[in-house]
Structure 1
Amino acid sequence: MRLSVPLRMSTRPARSYSDAIAALNSLQSNYANIMAIRASGDRKNKMNIWEMQEWSRRIGYSTSDFNKLNIVHITGTKGKGSTAAFTQSVLQQYGDQIRKIGLYTSPHLKSVRERIRINGQPICEEKFSSYFFDVWDKLEATSSPLDNFPHMTPGSKPGYFKYLTLLSFHVFMQEGCDSCIYEVGVGGEFDSTNIIESPTACGVSLLGIDHTFMLGETIEEIAWNKGGIFKKGSPAFTIAAQPTKGLEVLKERAQERETSLTEVPIFDSLKKIKLGIAGDFQISNASLAVALASQHLVRLGVLDQNLQLAPDTELPQRFVDGLTSAKWNGRCQTVQDGAITWLIDGAHTKDSIEAASGWFKSEVIKTPRKKVLLFNQQTRDAEALITNLHKCLLPEVAFDRVIFTTNVTWKSGSYSADLVSMNTSKEQVENLEVQNALRDTWLRLEPHAKVDVVANIESAIELVKAYNEPVEVVVTGSLHLVGGLLVALDGKD
């Protein structure tokens, strides 16, 4: 049942995109709060889902209303964003029968609007602002029973990610999207996207160890959380090369949820084409996207039957066109800037670092140009990641220079407005604690290396440009670093 509430927009002056970003940033959890929650041992629980259902009611929707969006729901540790991008691109080839495709992903690189896309494009600033304050004002004008929702006091709002999830549903409903793709934020079982009741298909990309505080320390615990998106009657698909113990748990979860789980093989035909997203490892994500798109198109009645999920299956030309035209910035992305070649892949887990290293090697190993590494990882086990990166790349790829930076965008000490992050320690960032520790780690591995520590991305770019000769720069680690770099290369805040 929809809740009719008055809007206050009519009595207020128009609010800008910068107003919306400032309000959104106020919903971030600060570093002290995050550390306090971790110390308490509190993990995500069912209350997260109940609260999202209540927030939805507050802005005028029953969660069953979202079924009309025809949602493909995707989770995993590595590759879920790329899988979503491949799936979207395939569905776009059926634009004669699917009018509007929504895509919700995270995190963003340059602009928060990247998280909410329609037909491949981020929504414009005007629409973002208008819809943002639609949701904001409706939450202001409504309330929740505090006996059931003690944290939802009058005037309170969902946290940053929950708010954006809520906003995405509102945008896609108001824009009349007839197909949507949702990438899970963290895990699945208790993720804010998991209020989706009847997805057309569910997908699980490669499982690995990440977000252990929220999901657990073992692959079995993580798989249990990821399998939480499975729904009765909604076919589920996963890549064929899952860790054995994780796959066993996914199968158990599918049985619990009364649905099927299909392992998707790598399609031989994909080995003969150039995928739109670089990296040999992307072939498994593209194969998973084929299965998801096929199931979705069957559910919508666009295709009469599912494609046969066998290695020797010949894919329809529209599928091939979608996979070859897919784009996903920040993942195996090459940016040519004069004599500088930026090789960019946000990799923040052991598996991601290993996969990215293979792509980096294939791009730079045979060239005589100077080679630079630009790295940061502010919040995870950065020293373990950099050690693994060193192991994967050397001795085949030797760096002439290594630069460790914070994620701060500009030399002024400021972030681009869309990239402001309150969930890191301001003191650690200002004192370059992580960066100095990374330098010490690298020098233990390679005592004669040339290593620099800088306070911001703009300064790192200046160090690279000072070479005045062809340079290849490997950029990896945090996606916040990748986003800040792309913003700084554009040269505008």
Structure 2
Amino acid sequence: MTTKADREIARLMTLHPKGFDLSLDRITRLLDRLGNPQERLPPVIHIAGTNGKGSAAAFSRSLLEAEGHKVHVHTSPHLVSWRERYRLGAQGGGRLVEDDVLADAVVRAAEANRGETITVFEILTAVTFLLFSEHPADAAIIEVGLGGRFDATNVIARPATAVIMPISLDHEAYLGDKVELIAVEKAGIIKRGAPVVIGAQESEVARDVLIETADRLEAPAIIYGQDFLATPEHGRLSYQDEDGLMDLPPPRLAGRHQFANAAAAIAAVKAAGFAVSLNAAERAMEQVEWPGRLQRLEQGRLTQFAPEGAELWIDGGHNPGAGAAIAETLAEREERHPRPLFLICGMINTKDQTNYFRAFAGMARHVFTVPVNSSDAGVPNAELALRAGEAGLSAEPVHSVANALMLLRDTWDHKEPTPRILICGSLYLIGEVLAENGTPPA
């Protein structure tokens, strides 16, 4: 169903260019006309990085809400509805913005722009600041859209803390083709004198760039592996920092990488000036939600097409770093509960498809490649099958996720263990799946 906010945003898309135009001039001009709402926000946790931004935001929200705080959250992109980008703080837990409230804010931001050149993402970022300044809350968590230095969210003069999650190659056309260049862009959210939490970095070069930037700006750096750490202990999460040790339940979000993401969130909430009690941290680990990231689908319309008893997962990670993290998680699961692994994958043409697939070489028995219908940049399914083949995987193009599931169901040898199926490769695809399955984020 098309909503009022959907119609207003669709209208903007016919008037303004798609994509990103990395500069702060247009967003600064628009916010000035709106009365600079970004200056009237509660304490902000500003999160950048290549992978793990959304998870860090989800953990931070869960921690703060477990302590009884009202928390605004801005993330992008959305999976099914534009409303997912704007979660407004409320007692007992935040709620996605109401359609009428979002539509009104979009109209006001568009009118203030007066038809001048701007991207839709910049208008929608201005909407974030309008909404968050007009609804009272104790904290705001704001995820960077792309990069950091020139991202439209980077108009916050002094966040309570910046957070920079793992950095790897992605969006090379915008950010550069070397990890150190991307790290410079991400480090752009570090503000003079404001603390910065540096999450677990695979690249020493990236880590060094972040630390050097923090030193230059006299921004206190809280560094994973030096000032805080998370380790698995007997299936639980052991978190340690200068305040001591917390023995916590394993995060509800699947994957070993989520231990480090949870740790970065605990460090960030503390750096932003909020207390994190043991009881609240325990509840946060057990209650955290982040749809479309190694999420298990156990019910819904699409699940009925899968072989009976199949284990069905979805994940929107779309670059080689995300592929490696997902593959590691599934390998650990395979050790405990062996099942043949199949991928149903759709990707867009700005991503490194072959190296994404390489993470699953030797693990996945077969890949079904599908079109991504909700993006103009979707890779044709036949071409994507060739990329999977280049990575050493057996692959074939099919028309849809439902088609792939039914093919598996109709040809499955019931003498084998039922399959583990991962639908993956693009957040656009995962949004399509959640909508078709009847289980959109709430």
Same fold (TM over 0.5): yes
Contact preservation (8 Å) 1:386, 1:438? no
**CA apart distance, 1:233:** 2.2
Identity %: 25
> Which residues of 2 match residues 155-170 of structure 1 at below 5 A?
155-156=115-116, 158-170=118-130
1:113 corresponds, among 63, 67, 83, to 83
Question: Which residue of 1 is the match for residue 131 of structure 2?
Answer: 171
Question: Please, which moves more after superposition, 358-367 or 232-241?
Answer: 358-367
Question: Which residue of 2 is the match for residue 287 of structure 1?
Answer: 263
Letter in 2 for 1:50: D
Instruction: Report whether the alignment pairs 1:363 with 2:307.
Output: no
**CA apart distance, 1:172:** 1.0
Question: Which residue of 2 is the match for residue 406 of structure 1?
Answer: 371
Question: Please, which moves more after superposition, 336-345 or 323-332?
Answer: 336-345
Question: Which residue of 2 is the match for residue 149 of structure 1?
Answer: none
Q: Distance in 1 between matches of 2:390 and 2:170?
A: 26
User: Alpha carbon RMSD of aligned pairs, Å?
Assistant: 2.7
Q: Distance in 2 between matches of 1:124 and 1:21?
A: 15
Question: Which residue of 2 is the match for residue 55 of structure 1?
Answer: 30
1:330 partner SS: coil
1:472 corresponds, among 390, 407, 420, to 420
Q: Distance in 2 between matches of 1:378 and 1:232?
A: 37
- Write the deviation string for residues 36-77 of structure 1: whole angstroms up to 9, x where unpaired: x9xxxxx83xxx2122111101223264x23x3211111111
1:81 partner SS: helix
1:192 partner SS: coil
Instruction: Report whether the alignment pairs 1:440 with 2:405.
Output: no
Question: Which residue of 1 is the match for residue 314 of structure 2?
Answer: 344
2:141 partner SS: strand
2:237 corresponds, among 251, 267, 270, to 270
Instruction: Report whether the alignment pairs 1:19 with 2:12.
Output: no
Letter in 1 for 2:98: C
**CA apart distance, 1:127:** 1.9
**CA apart distance, 1:491:** 8.5
Q: Distance in 1 between matches of 2:357 and 2:322?
A: 14
Change (3 A) 1:118 1:460: farther
**CA apart distance, 1:130:** 2.3
**CA apart distance, 1:27:** 5.6
Mark the structure with the bigger radius of gyration.
1
Question: Which residue of 1 is the match for residue 244 of structure 2?
Answer: none
What TM-score do you get using the length of structure 2 for normalisation? 0.83
Question: Which residue of 2 is the match for residue 87 of structure 1?
Answer: 60
Contact preservation (8 Å) 2:382, 2:396? no
Question: Which residue of 2 is the match for residue 135 of structure 1?
Answer: 109
1:217 corresponds, among 155, 177, 182, to 177
Q: Distance in 2 between matches of 1:107 and 1:28?
A: 18
Change (3 A) 1:89 1:27: farther
Contact preservation (8 Å) 1:27, 1:158? no
Structure 2, gaps ≥5 residues long = 239-247
Question: Which residue of 2 is the match for residue 197 of structure 1?
Answer: 157
Instruction: Report whether the alignment pairs 1:323 with 2:285.
Output: yes
2:254 partner SS: coil
Q: Distance in 1 between matches of 2:391 and 2:84?
A: 38
What TM-score do you get using the length of structure 1 for normalisation? 0.75
2:229 partner SS: coil
Contact preservation (8 Å) 1:88, 1:103? yes
Question: Which residue of 2 is the match for residue 69 of structure 1?
Answer: 42
**CA apart distance, 1:157:** 5.7
Contact preservation (8 Å) 1:334, 1:342? yes
Q: Distance in 2 between matches of 1:21 and 1:234?
A: 34
1:126 partner SS: helix
- Write the deviation string for residues 362-387 of structure 1: whole angstroms up to 9, x where unpaired: 33456565643101211234442354
Contact preservation (8 Å) 1:83, 1:288? yes
**CA apart distance, 1:208:** 0.9
Change (3 A) 1:126 1:157: farther
